[in-house]
Amino acid sequence: ACGADSPPRSNAKPGGYVAPDGPEVAEAERERGSGPVRTVQLTAARTPLDLGGGTTVTSWSYGGELPGEEVRVTAGDTLALTLANHLPEATSAHWHGIALRNNMDGVPGVTQKAVAPGADFTYRFTVPDPGTYWVHPHVGTQRDRGLYAPLIVDDPKEPLSYDKEWVVVLDDWLDGVDGSTPDKVLGRLRGGTRHRRGGMASRMPMGAESKLLGGDAGDVAYPYYLVNGRTAKDPSGFTARPGDRIRLRIVNAGGDTAFRVALGGHRMTVTHADGFPVRHTTTDSLVLGMGERYDVLVTAGDGVFPLTALAEGKRASALAVLRTGSGAVPAADVRPEELDGRLVTADRLRAADSVALPSRTPDRTIRLRLTGGMATYDWAFDGKPYSPDQRHPVREGERVRTEFVNTTSMWHPIHLHGHTFALGATPGGPRKDTAIVLPGQTVTVDFDADNPGLWMVHCHNVYHAEAGMMTVLGYR
Ligand code: C2O
Ligand code: CU
């Protein structure tokens, strides 16, 4: 079925992929670990959700909760997670950031058949690396409903010491508000109108912040921005004691919003980017594109402190509250001064020595131009809309360099499945799976092709991906 030069393990035939499942996959799974099997049940269903402050919507979520209940395993464990689909549409579960066996990656049409309404599917794979990850569907615009949950992989030899852990999931929300759905929004965007809503967003004073990094960070003005499923009017809280060392695991699960995050009264020490350790770097604020994660350590002060996530360029923000003592609840639109202090973006970080990608000359360079425009809404790579049969070939064992050349006026957080790249062409860049490519910029990433299969590369803006900014890397 394949080209004459394809080795037998390649099943990358156009149209109908059969994921590799021979002895070499069993062997690779053994290398990932031999820990216990963790059995988890995840039900995707349409339920009412309380966003706080009297706002209730009916939407799609995992287990009727927003975010879905955290999935927690230890590196080396086998996760056996049964996804029960109670939705009216086919769906899937994708394990964002995990270098897992290809046939469990959750991409319908590429690695599996979508899970039909009423059906269930058990994902079973060994989890190789500790870190902060998350799960979401890989079907259409479903991700911009409430279908997301944090996936935390503990390190059996955790080198950090801390007292408490605070998982902070950021999101932009429109589903079920005044009949809004992500599909309707995509239809309007394709018809050439930006999604603008008045009145409901929490207003922030206009500042230079919206253009801090240049260009447009998103297309859609959402009525709500959430931290851990709550609006700024009735924010979620986290309680600790003064002096506690708290590890924040921050996840941007938004569909179309980059967030700038700061914790009032605190400096943050960045310890991990996209789950992988970095050389500790202290900062006032951080920017997360859609799909990115950062872990930071803070030493808690005494009082009540706002954790503000500013929606870049949208004059709105999300809020959560850290409580260690007494004090007034912060106003919904509070703007801690740390938001305008030192800012960390991924290119300012260095990989921890333990995970630095060894320096090596690339065997292959793939250059992808990010193309498209707001008026035509034709986001793509190299001007070609997504087709699952068009693949960029790589070979096992290669060092692959990928260059993302942003020719557009928008931000694109680009995500690679199944691998963790090193950011930047100079050795020692942070290990990541998602990288913001700013307008006019070229971002270079290097990775080792060590996980055979078919792997998506796409913009993590859900509307850009659906419009066509997706492609596939195929091992041959
Ligand atoms: Cu988080 Cu292909 O996605
Ligand atoms: Cu994009």
Q: Are 420 and 346 in contact (CB under 8 A)?
A: no
Q: At 458, is the pLDDT very low, low, confident or very high (cuts 50, 70, 90)?
A: very high
C-alpha span between 451 and 427 (Å, rounded): 21
pLDDT band at 215 (very low <50, low <70, confident <90, very high): confident
CA dist 446 and 422 (Å) reads 5
Report whether the peptide linkage leading into residue 128 is cis, meaning its omega lies within 30 degrees of zero.
no
Enumerate residues 6+ apart whose C-beta is below 8 A from 236: 52, 227, 228, 229, 230, 320, 321
**Residue 250 alpha carbon to ligand 2 centre in Å:** 21
Check: CB of residue 57 under 8 Å from CB of residue 51: yes
Residues facing 446 on adjacent strands: 401, 422
Spacing, Cα 388 to ligand 1 middle (Å): 15
pLDDT of residue 29: 85
Which strand ranges, in their side-by-side order, compose the sheet holding 71-74? 71-74, 149-154, 131-136, 94-96
Mean pLDDT, rounded, for 408-424: 97
| CA–CA separation, 329 and 303 (whole Å) | 10
Atom 3 of ligand 1, residue of closest alpha carbon: 96
Contact in structure between 280 and 287 (CB atoms under 8 Å): no
Q: Which ligand has its closest atom nearest to the C-alpha of 139?
A: 1
- Rounded distance between C-alpha atoms, residue 235 and residue 227, angstroms: 7
**Percent of the chain, pLDDT > 70?**
91
Q: Is the CB of 138 under 6 A from ligand 1?
A: yes
Q: How far is CA 413 from CA 119, 250, 320, in A?
A: 32, 16, 24
pLDDT tens string 81-133: 999 999 999 999 999 999 999 999 999 999 999 999 999 999 999 999 999 99
Using the mean position of ligand 1's atoms as its centre, give its distance from the Cα of residue 460 in Å: 6
Ligand 1 and 458: CB distance under 6 A: yes
464 in contact with ligand 1, CB cutoff 6 A: no
CB 103 within 8 A of CB 453: yes
Residue 39 neighbours by CB distance under 10 Å: 12
Distances (CA, A) of 408 to 53, 215, 383, 438, 473: 38, 9, 11, 9, 23
- Is a pLDDT exceeding 90 seen at residue 12? no
Provide the pLDDT for residue 200: 33
Query: What was the pLDDT predicted at 19?
Result: 60
Residues 287-317 have pLDDT tens digits of 999 999 999 999 999 999 999 999 999 989 9
What domains does the chain contain, in order, with CATH numbers? Answer: 23-154 (2.60.40.420), 164-348 (2.60.40.420), 354-475 (2.60.40.420)
29-38 confidence digits (pLDDT tens): 888 888 899 9
| Longest Cα–Cα distance in the chain | 71
- In terms of C-beta density within 10 A (0-12 exposed, 13-18 middle, 19 or more buried), how is residue 125 classed? buried
> 380-388, long-range: CB within 8 Å, 24+ apart, which pairs?
380/467, 380/468, 380/469, 381/457, 381/469, 381/470, 381/471, 384/468, 385/467, 385/468, 386/458, 386/465, 386/468, 386/469, 386/470, 386/471, 388/109, 388/110, 388/472
Pick the range with the lowest mean pLDDT from 182-196, 321-335, 351-365, 457-471. Answer: 182-196
Distance from the CA of 330 to the center of ligand 2, in angstroms? 33
Cβ 417 under 6 angstroms from ligand 1: yes
- 349 contacts 343 by C-beta, under 8 angstroms: no
Kindly write down the DSSP assignment for every residue of 168-214, as one continuous string.
Answer: EEEEEE-TTSTT--HHHHHHHHHTT--B---SSSPP----GGGGSS-
CA of 53 to the centre of ligand 1 (A): 31
Protein residue with its CA nearest to atom 1 in ligand 1: 96
Radius of gyration of the chain (CA): 21
For residue 350, the tally of other CB atoms under 10 A from its CB is 17
Structure letter (DSSP) for residue 115: B
Ligand 1 binding pocket includes 230 (Cβ within 6 Å)? no
Kindly tell me if the per-residue pLDDT of 5 is higher than 60: no
Contact assessment for residue 126 and residue 95, using Cβ atoms and an 8 Å cutoff? no
pLDDT of residue 15 exceeding 90: no
Query: Looking at per-residue confidence, does 4 or 139 come out higher?
Result: 139
**Ligand 1 atom with minimal separation from the 465 CA:** 2
Model confidence at 467: pLDDT above 70:
yes
Q: Which atom of ligand 1 is nearest to the CA of 97?
A: 1
Q: What is the pLDDT of residues 50-62, one digit of tens each?
A: 999 899 999 999 9
Q: How far is the CA of 196 from the centre of ligand 2 (A)?
A: 18
What's the 464 CA to ligand 2 centre distance in angstroms?
5
Q: Which atom of ligand 1 is nearest to the CA of 138?
A: 2
- The answer to whether the CB of 109 falls within 8 A of the CB of 149 is no
**Residue found under tokens 């260009």:** 215
**DSSP result, 46-79:** EEEEEEETTEEEEEEEETTBSSPPPEEEETTPEE
Q: Is the distance from the beta carbon of residue 415 to the nearest atom of ligand 1 less than 6 Å?
A: yes
Task: Give the pLDDT confidence score for residue 9 in this predicted structure.
Answer: 36
In angstroms, what is the span from residue 94 Cα to ligand 1's centroid?
7
In ligand 1, the atom with minimum distance to the C-alpha of 456 is: 2
Report how far apart, in Å, the C-alpha atoms of 292 and of each of 141, 274, 288 are: 18, 6, 6
Q: Which ligand is nearest to the CA of 437?
A: 2
Strand 78-85 vs strand 236-239: parallel, antiparallel, or unpaired?
A: unpaired
Q: What angle do CA 215, 261, 234 make, to 5 degrees?
A: 115
309-358 pLDDT, tens digit each? 999 999 899 999 999 999 999 999 999 999 999 999 999 999 999 999 99
Is any ligand 1 atom within 6 A of the Cβ of residue 456?
yes
The Å distance, Cα 458 to ligand 1 centre, comes to 8
Other beta carbons less than 10 A from residue 55's beta carbon: 18
* pLDDT above 90 for 370: yes
Find out whether the beta carbon of 143 lies less than 6 Å from any atom of ligand 1.
no
Instruction: Identify the residue whose tokens are 């498209």.
Output: 372
Predicted confidence band at 194 (pLDDT cuts at 50, 70, 90)?
Answer: low
